[in-house]
Structures are given as structure tokens and as C-alpha cells.
Structure 1
Amino acid sequence: MRFEGKVALVTAAAQGIGAAVARRLADEGASVVVTDLQEDKLGEVAAGIGARALPLRVDVTSRDDVDAAVAAAVERFGRLDVVVNNAGGCIVQSAPEDTTDDDWRAQLDLTLVGASRCIQAALPELVKNRGNVVTISSVNGLAAFGNIEYSAAKAGQIAMTVNYAARYGSLGVRFNVVAPGTIRTPNWDNQPDTLERLSKMYPLGRIGEPEDIAAAVAFLASDDAAWITGHTLPVEGGVLTGPTVLNPALSKKEYPGH
């Protein structure tokens, strides 16, 4: 019950990683403001949590929506301690040479500026309660996995986090990042063959589950991580270690414990 008496706000919480994070924090005692644009699915997540959930339709590209969400959290629960920036996505599908300025603006506004909006709105409460922010970035922000615009926005989240951590650390507010690899979310529902292929890239032999990310978020948002700030925690099954060809299957004869 690391979050008993605390209040968290999770963006893009209707499914996938956001829903798993909301459930994990609630399971550990938090009251949770769950926000998304998908109101029907959001209601299902909130219903599963119960009276300690507040579902809100929020568009993180709207400052009015974000400000209203923080105000509603404080009005309903009396405080705000944790913000989990999960909203984002790869919205640019064109080749890099065909990407327009509007494409870039849309990608950055959703993924990078949207996260900053949430931080700005919550800062007075976070300072008051010595709270913290966990932003869900990606391994795309750490290495070259394609999707240039998305990757740049995710790398921007990491740089933003480091700077927020340096600026507000003396006020007791912490800022950290979780950088997932491939996670089994509804975005992949119609691509099981792709997930099977991608799993072979990972030294641990599988892609990630939303609960893998939720566990990392819960750690960084809790007092167990009280002396950790400005940190990026990759949760990625080892994909950043290098090509899986360097990790061949080991025979039982050569390695008797395997």
C-alpha cells in the first residue's frame, strides 16, 4: 500500500499501459484520476477501480482540458501527488522526406508539449505535496528504431524530464522516465505475426506486457525511489543491449543450469 492516502493522475488510461498503471496504483492504495479521449473504455477502467477512481475526458493538446483535470482531482480528492504522462503515440505515418511542418507540430504537441502541459498544471500541487512525475517515453528516444518524428518527441521527453528534475529538485519534486520496448497493447491486436517476429529481437525472449511498465512506474512514483530523480529507466527486455545474434541459444550440455 505504497500509495495509501495519495492521489495520482494518469493520462491515456483507457487501455494498455495507462490502464495497467492506473490499476496498479489503485491496488497499492491510490485514488486515481483516469483520463483519456475514449470515454466508454475509460468508464470500464474506472468501474474496475471503484470509488477511488475519477474518469475524465481529457485531450492533452488542450490546456483548458488539462487545467480542468488537475482542478477536478483536487476538488474530488483534496490533493494531487503523482502525475503519469502516458498520452502520446506515433501519429506521423509518412516517410521522413514527406513529413510536413504540420505533421511535426502535431506529433510534438501530443507527445512532448502535452506532457509538459500536464506537468505545468500540476506543479503547484506537486510542490505542496512533494510529489513526482513519471513520463512514459520509449526506447525510440534512446536508440534508432525508426519513426523519426515520434522518436524525436520521445527523446524530448527525456531531456525535458532531466531539466525539470534539476530545476525543481530543491522543492522536493521528482521527475523520472520509463522507456518501454515493444508492449502488447491494443495497438497490436491485428498484428500477432508482427509481435511474434518482434519478440525474437529481445534477449529475454518475449515482448513486454502493460503490467511490466506499471510495475516500473509504481516503483519510481513511490517513496522506494525517494532519492531517484532525472532518471530514465528502460524496461525493454534487453533490446538495448545489442543484436540478439550476440545471445545465441545456450545448450544444456555447455551450461548445465539452463
Structure 2
Amino acid sequence: MKRLEGRVALVTGGVGGIGTAVVKDFLAEGAKVIIADIKQDAVDEAVATYKAEGFSVAGAAASITDIDALQAAVDAGVAELGPVDIVVANANTGGATTTLDKTSPERFRQDVADNLAGQYNTVRVVIEGMKAKKHGAIVIVGSVNGLATFGQPAYSVAKAGLVSLARTMATEYGAHNIRANIVCPGTVQTPAWDHRIARKPDVLDGLKKWYPLLRVARPVDVAKAITFLASDDAGFISGVTLPVDGGLMAGNLAMSRELTLEDQ
């Protein structure tokens, strides 16, 4: 039996990068998927493609910053596919500024509010249905930026807040048989990197040395971790922060070699 057979999942940011990888892996594991994303044309195209392949999907354009639009999208999906069992809070609004000095007060407020409140909104629109079913799995997509300093301070503060949010949800919703966990990817080669690659084509090659596995992640690497946490294989795992980072948070080999004067 497939790991998500018969389950209904909501995936935000479901078109492009990690979201697309999650949707494809969920469908392969037997789930029905409600795709929410701000890109209407891309959602329509994805839904048509998956349906032509025989999968059960629904989709609507909605921003995680607009809880009413998100609720409407989910309600339409539930009417078509059934109540939500799994929510993957993946969509985020990015982080454009690189340092505190370059971050305006308004930009700081916006990045924190949109990224943190947006994930709260995503869970909010499905949580009552999960409570009614006495079953559910929440997976928030955070970032290693929320665990250490890698630039983009406002975005990183929001990601750090998501760790607390996941723990709070695990604690408060556990009595309803609802689990909540957060994955924290490192560098992932998604379309979000396109503008930086355009400026510096070898930028990702330059980052590989910081990762013990000597590569950056593919979206599917993150998707597989999310599928595990969403499945009954992780049925007694809740409140966990899982770095999916190729060992980045384990330590810095380049720095340790300099400190110990070991040869490279």
C-alpha cells in the first residue's frame, strides 16, 4: 500500500521548486492534492496535467497573506476531494534584503509578518477540519536561515519563528491526534535562484564547499523528507525541527581545518 493512500493534502506554493516536488511525490504515494499558489495560470496548467495523468487534484490561486482567499481555495478543494488530512505550509514571500543595514523598518515588518503569519494562515484554514477528523499531519517548510545566520535577516527571523510555531502546534494539537513538524532546507536549486545564477552562473558551485555532502539540494531531496513526516511512518514524531541540509548544520569542516591546521 502506498504511504499516503487516500489522504487529502493541501500544498501551498505548489507550483515550482519544492512545492512541485512535494505534489509529485504525494501523488505518487497515493494522496489527493489541493494545490494553492499565487500563479493562476501555472496552477491551472498543473491541475490539467495531473488530471490527464489520472491523479486526483484540485487547485486555485491564493496568497498565504490573504486568509479569505486561501480559505476559499481550500473550501473549493475540499468540496472536490474531501477534508484535508495533511497540510504542507510551503509557500513563502522570499527575503530580498541581505543585511540589517539594508533592511528598512517597513521591509522588516513585511517580511516577518508575511512569512510567519502566512504559514499560520495556511494551517488555520484546515485545522478545524483536522480536529473534527481526529487526525492530521502538519509540515511547515522553514529554512536553515532560522537556525543560524546566513543573511536575509528579516526572512531569517520569520523562519526562526516558524520553529516555535511548529512546536506550539505540536503541543496544542497533539490531543487531537494532529502532528506538527518543520523541515529546514539549506540551499535548494529552485527557480528562486535564477536571478542570482543570471548574475553569477557558478554561484551554486561556489556554495557546494560549505556542505559536507558537497552539493546543494534538489527539490526532491526536501520533498522526500516532507513525505516521510506526513506519513504514518512518522506517526510518533511531532514537534521536530529537521534540517534537510546535506550536513550544513552539523559543522563547518573548512573552518575546523583552519582551526586545527589540518591539511585540506
- TM score, norm. by length of structure 2: 0.89
Matched, 1:90 2:94: yes
Deviation at 1:180, TM superposition (A): 0.2
Deviation at 1:95, TM superposition (A): 3.7
Partner of 2:136: 131
Matched, 1:156 2:161: yes
Alignment partner of 2:150 out of 135, 145, 159: 145
Paired AA for residue 167 in structure 1? E
| Structure 1 gap segments, 5+ residues each | 249-258
Matched, 1:204 2:204: no
Partner of 1:171: 176
Matched, 1:236 2:240: no
Kindly indicate whether the alpha-carbon contact (under 8 Å) linking 1:203 and 1:247 is maintained by their aligned counterparts in 2. no
| RMSD between aligned residues | 1.6
Deviations 1:141-161 (A, max 9, x none): 111111110110000001011
Partner of 1:214: 223
In 2, distance between residues paired with 1:147 and 1:99? 9
Deviation at 1:189, TM superposition (A): 2.7
Deviation at 1:218, TM superposition (A): 0.2
Deviation at 1:18, TM superposition (A): 0.5
Kindly indicate whether the alpha-carbon contact (under 8 Å) linking 1:9 and 1:84 is maintained by their aligned counterparts in 2. yes
Aligned sequence identity (%) = 39
In 2, distance between residues paired with 1:244 and 1:26? 38
Deviation at 1:83, TM superposition (A): 0.6
Paired AA for residue 196 in structure 1? D
Aligned length: 248
Deviations 1:104-125 (A, max 9, x none): 2221232110000111111111
Kindly indicate whether the alpha-carbon contact (under 8 Å) linking 1:19 and 1:45 is maintained by their aligned counterparts in 2. no
Kindly indicate whether the alpha-carbon contact (under 8 Å) linking 1:90 and 1:147 is maintained by their aligned counterparts in 2. no
Deviation at 1:247, TM superposition (A): 7.8
Partner of 1:252: none
Kindly indicate whether the alpha-carbon contact (under 8 Å) linking 2:137 and 2:230 is maintained by their aligned counterparts in 1. yes
Matched residue SS, 2:210: coil
Kindly indicate whether the alpha-carbon contact (under 8 Å) linking 2:9 and 2:34 is maintained by their aligned counterparts in 1. yes
In 2, distance between residues paired with 1:89 and 1:70? 19
Deviations 1:166-216 (A, max 9, x none): 111011111000100000101223513111101111110100000000000
Matched residue SS, 1:96: coil
Partner of 1:65: 69
In 2, distance between residues paired with 1:109 and 1:147? 15
Deviation at 1:137, TM superposition (A): 0.1
Deviation at 1:65, TM superposition (A): 1.0
Matched residue SS, 1:200: helix
Partner of 1:245: 254
Deviation at 1:227, TM superposition (A): 0.3
Partner of 1:254: none
Kindly indicate whether the alpha-carbon contact (under 8 Å) linking 1:177 and 1:232 is maintained by their aligned counterparts in 2. yes
Partner of 1:56: 60
Matched, 1:74 2:78: yes
| Structure 2 gap segments, 5+ residues each | 258-264
Partner of 1:12: 13
The runs of at least 4 aligned residues of structure 1 exceeding 3 Å deviation read none
Paired AA for residue 159 in structure 2? K
